[in-house]
Structure 1
Amino acid sequence: MFAVLLVGSSCDLVAAERSPAQGSETRQQVENQFREWLAGTVWPEAFKERISRETFDRALGSLTLDWSLPELQPPGQTTPRDDQRQAEFQNPGLYFSESQLTSLAAAGGNLLKQWANALTMIEQRYGVPREIIVAIWGHESHFGRVRPKHQAVRVLATQAFMGRRRTLYYPELLAVLRILEQDQWPEETLLSSWAGAMGQPQLLPSKYLRYAVDADGDGQRDIWRSVPDSLASIANYLHEHGWTPGRSWGVEVQVPAGVPCSLEGPRQGKPVREWAQLGLAHADQTSLPDKNSDAIAFLLMPAGRLGPAFLVSENFYVLKQYNESDLYALFVGHLADRLRGGSSFRATWAPTDPMQRRDIWAMQERLQFQGHDVGKVDGLIGFATRTAIGQWQMRNQRAETCFPDPALIPMIR
């Protein structure tokens, strides 16, 4: 494992396998640099934030790096090729496993009854529907049944020292030290994912400090073992990010062929009545809910014309504050609908051929060069990339799908 993390080619890997002593020596050198970094960089910062020496030593005094984590770039090693550009980009419909949704809806329905009293209190306090709260709980940790296995302090120290995203993790390392200082948790309690997200709601330490709630009144914000604390922390997070009580996240719709799919996205909201005037209807072919409303709604087409379409409210984008992915927010909203007795999507996700992220990345660069706003150039097909594809297709008199396929990618020059 160590050789894979530290070297960049198969030849180097063979050499490393032939020289285990040299590899061990290199690892020890990095561990020594880690100790120096903790003493020279982290402790002065922690001291400024009023972390006691006792807490610092208890958490980090004998800590070693976790070499099993992904996304590591040890000091002195050649920066590895960005493997994310090599991965396949899959059909968005694969995100919505029917068996997973059915399982989560069944289990979540039982838990809605089991925790009804706590959810009523939380719903009244924060204005977030219980189904949304339970849907996030289910998606993040299967209702607390999937327990994190990593120690958050070790994960965050490792990632802050030699992770690819050091600048993200360094503040989180200081935040987890503040948790240990303020809440007096033993560090072995603070379990997390490999990315440092903690407990049943999967909150990063900085989010825990700001949004975690003691809902069961025991004096601790225990998102690891307390269901009420976990549920209330999710609700508080959404409340603080602007959840509007009384508004749904969105609804599946039919989009007429004459309405450009390039109207998608959070920058192109329109009153519901205007969408209705354009011919958008509920997916069951009935009129839109609140079809005469001036409330702003946004078109969402995660697979362009190759999958279901939705009109979403600002609350959908509040869900995206919990996780930046359109598909994540849609999964949560759809699962919440299932918990209310709703059915599966009415439209189908058309099958698409897998595409290499490096090819999508190159396509984004070409579109950007032509003046299109593709959002972040990252090999992922976000709303900005989808609308840019639709605009290019219209300009070049091609069928507007707002989604790439292997044949289209080389055409965009």
Structure 2
Amino acid sequence: MKVLALVVLLLGLCGQAFAQDRAAVEQQFRSWLEQEIWPRARSKGVGRETFETAFTGVSLNWDLPDLVPPGTKKRTPQRQRQAEFGSPGKYFNRGSIDGATSVGKQMAARHAAALSAAERMTGVPGRIILAIWGRESGYGRVKIPHDVFEVLGTKGFMSTRAEYFRDELIAALQIAEAGHAPTGAMKSSWAGALGQPQFMPSSFLKYAADGNGDGHADIWRSEADTIASIARYLQKHGWKNGRDWGFEVSVPATVSCTLEGPDQGRKIRVWEAMGIARVSGRAFPDHERRAEGYLLMPAGRNGPAFIVTPNFYVLKDYNMSDLYALFVGHVGDRIAYGVGDFTARWGAVGGLRRSDVAAMQRALEAMGHDVGGADGLAGYKTRRSIGRWQEATGQAATCFPEAKMKAALGR
């Protein structure tokens, strides 16, 4: 009993110390707002009333990911937070694909005029706009839970990308000062993204558009403005009018998966001459054959393969994920053309932590490979570096991190 009582006492003391530590950090946060954020906000035209209203009742949100409280060191997250770190196929689950497609078809009919107007103005196809809208906010139906000033305040004060979030916090205060958002609408994702298109505040200031002609860019309540804003974002990021986003293809064993990436582009007719063909059996369109394309193998040899165009990388500018861009392109095609699932199946890969992938990346870097940084993300540079290591060691290249590699790479 004495031992149990001692344990309880120690736990209680630890809990009190933890609470005191948090209270001290909260005080630092309030000082930081006044000393660093307020002067920057004021210089951007934000009034004191707007500033005080924004932070009334706001405290640090300790449940947000990737926080680095004062006095601690930055660490590689142990748990995966995005689909890329598990099986890529999970990103394309039946419910997400079918839901985005079926509602997207309804929205295509309901908002045909706004979609046509946006496409005429920007060259961005309506099906692509719809797919992004569906992925970002379920066509405006998904509840957006967080106070944007709590999220951006917390992450600007103590996160792995603090300076980025400080800039976004200032932009959010500018939005509030200008009165763009309806009362109570400054809600965001855990990353600070706003409204139906889930724009970061700086993106709202740059790309939000008035689609219904009322003189306002309202991405919270107006479907026409949401459509126009997504289209303008893609246009300003370089969408090439007349080109598709990409095509699912078969890649023969004679073509190495290490040829993946936007820095290894070839004319599509050259890929075709190497034996790469559309899985549909149809020829590549003539105008696409004459233009550059890039090999994309998001699961290496363990899943579908694609020849993508520069527009695919414009979609990645919206969300820096191969799987996100692939989802958008695929759902857009399902909405407009009624296509089915990818022909190739996703393999049973994944199940790794970001720290596992980061360890592999560090091992590959030590060998001279460019993995794009040891961040625990299995991007194209990491995938093809794995393939190059496999080929150099006499293995068949699969170009994707697998658990069995941990013994040779980083463990």
SS of 2:376's equivalent in the other structure is coil
Displacement, 1:272? Answer: 1.0
1:400 to 390, 393, 397: 397
Asked whether 1:34 is paired with 2:25, we answer: no
Provide the residue aligned with 2:343 in structure 1: 346
Distance in 1 (CA, whole Å) between partners of 2:356 and 2:165 is 29
- Structure 1 residues 291, 113: closer, same or farther in 2, change over 3 A? closer
User: 1:331-410 residue pairs with structure 2 within 5 A?
Assistant: 331-340=327-336, 341-352=338-349, 354-410=351-407
* C-alpha distance in 1 between matches for 2:8 and 2:158: 20
Q: After superposing the two structures, state which structure 1 stretch, 64-73 or 167-176, moved more.
A: 64-73
Residue 228 of structure 2 corresponds to residue 232 of structure 1: yes
For the residue of structure 2 that corresponds to 1:248, the secondary structure is coil
- Change in Cα spacing, 1:176 to 1:14, as seen in structure 2 (3 Å) is farther
Listed one character per residue, the Cα deviations across residues 117-161 of structure 1 (whole Å, up to 9, x for unaligned) are 111111111110000000000111111110211121222112212
Between the aligned partners of 1:243 and 1:16, the Cα distance in structure 2 is: 57
In structure 1, what is the equivalent of residue 129 of structure 2?
A: 133
Distance 1:353 1:45, change over 3 A: closer
321-330 vs 33-42, which moves further = 33-42
Aligned equivalents of 1:136, 1:27: Cα separation in 2: 38
Q: Secondary structure at the match of 1:188?
A: coil
**What is the aligned partner in structure 1 of residue 197 from structure 2?**
201
Structure 1 unmatched ranges of 5 or more: 1-11
Aligned residue number for residue 262 of structure 1? 258
Question: How many Å apart are 1:309 and its aligned residue?
Answer: 0.5
- Any residues of structure 2 matched to 1:1-150 within 5 Å, and which? 15=10, 17-18=12-13, 21-60=16-55, 63-76=58-71, 78-79=72-73, 81-84=75-78, 89-150=85-146
Q: Distance in 2 between matches of 1:332 and 1:184?
A: 28
For the residues of structure 1 that align with 2:391 and 2:91, how far apart are their CA atoms?
29
Answer yes or no: is the 8 Å Cα contact 2:101–2:335 preserved in 1.
yes
Partners of 1:85 and 1:379 within 8 A in 2:
no
Aligned to 1:242: 238
Cα pair 1:147 1:199 within 8 Å, conserved: no
- Identify the range of structure 1 (311-320 vs 154-163) with the bigger mean alpha-carbon deviation: 154-163
What is the Cα deviation at residue 24 of structure 1? 4.2
Give the 3-state SS of the residue equivalent to 2:78 in structure 1.
Answer: helix
SS in 2 for 1:140: helix
> CA offset at residue 251 of structure 1?
0.4
Unaligned runs of 5+ in 2: 1-6
CA–CA separation in structure 2 for the residues paired with 1:118 and 1:273:
36
Partners of 2:129 and 2:14 in 1: CA distance: 52
Tell whether the 8 Å contact from 1:304 to 1:386 is kept in structure 2 after alignment: yes
Which moves more between the two structures, 59-68 or 159-168?
59-68
Structure 2 CA distance for aligned equivalents of residues 359 and 68 of structure 1: 23
Secondary structure at the counterpart of residue 377 of structure 2? coil
Q: 1:17 to 1:189 in 2, by over 3 A?
A: farther
User: What root-mean-square deviation, in Å, do the aligned CA atoms of Structure 1 and Structure 2 show?
Assistant: 2.4
Q: Structure 1 stretch 22-31 or stretch 251-260: which is displaced more?
A: 22-31
- 1: CA distance between counterparts of 2:9 and 2:398? 47
- Distance in 1, matches of 2:109 and 2:146, equals 31
Normalised by the length of structure 1, the TM-score is 0.91
Q: CA deviation at 1:213?
A: 1.0
Distance in structure 2 (CA, Å) of the matches to 1:107 and 1:86: 29
Partners of 1:292 and 1:179 lie apart in 2 by 41
- Give the letter aligned to residue 342 of structure 2: F
Which residue number in structure 1 is paired with residue 408 of structure 2?
411
Deviations 1:204-239 (CA, angstroms, capped at 9, x unpaired): 100010011121223322111111111111111000
In structure 2, how many angstroms separate the alpha carbons of the residues matched to 1:131 and 1:410?
A: 45
| 1:323 and 2:319 are equivalent in the alignment | yes
- Preserved contact between residue 152 and residue 192 of structure 1 (Cα < 8 Å): yes
Residues 180 and 186, structure 1, Cα contact 8 Å, conserved in 2:
no
Quote the Cα distance in structure 1 between the aligned partners of 2:314 and 2:278.
23
Take 2:198 and 2:274, find their aligned partners in 1: how far apart are those partners? 40
SS at match of 1:201: coil
- Evaluate the alpha carbon distance shift between residue 110 and residue 185 of structure 1 in structure 2; reply closer, same or farther with a 3 A threshold: closer
How far off its partner does 1:276 sit?
Answer: 1.0
Q: Structure 1: which amino acid aligns with 2:30?
A: R
Any conservation in 1 of the 2:350–2:402 contact (CA below 8 Å)?
yes
- State the AA in 2 paired with 1:390: G
Question: Cα distance 1:257–1:116, how it changes in 2: closer, same or farther (>3 A)?
Answer: same
Partner secondary structure for residue 365 of structure 2 = helix
Q: Cα gap change, 1:230/1:370 in structure 2, threshold over 3 Å: closer, same or farther?
A: same
What count of residue pairs does the alignment treat as equivalent? 402
Name the amino acid aligned to 1:70: P
Write the distance in 1 (CA, Å) between the matches of 2:395 and 2:9.
50
What is the TM-score normalised by the length of structure 2?
0.91
Matched, 1:310 2:306: yes
Report if the CA contact (8 A) 1:387-1:402 is conserved. Answer: yes
SS at match of 2:323: helix
Q: Distance in 1 between matches of 2:15 and 2:194?
A: 35
Distance 1:99 1:47, change over 3 A: closer
Q: Distance in 2 between matches of 1:184 and 1:293?
A: 45
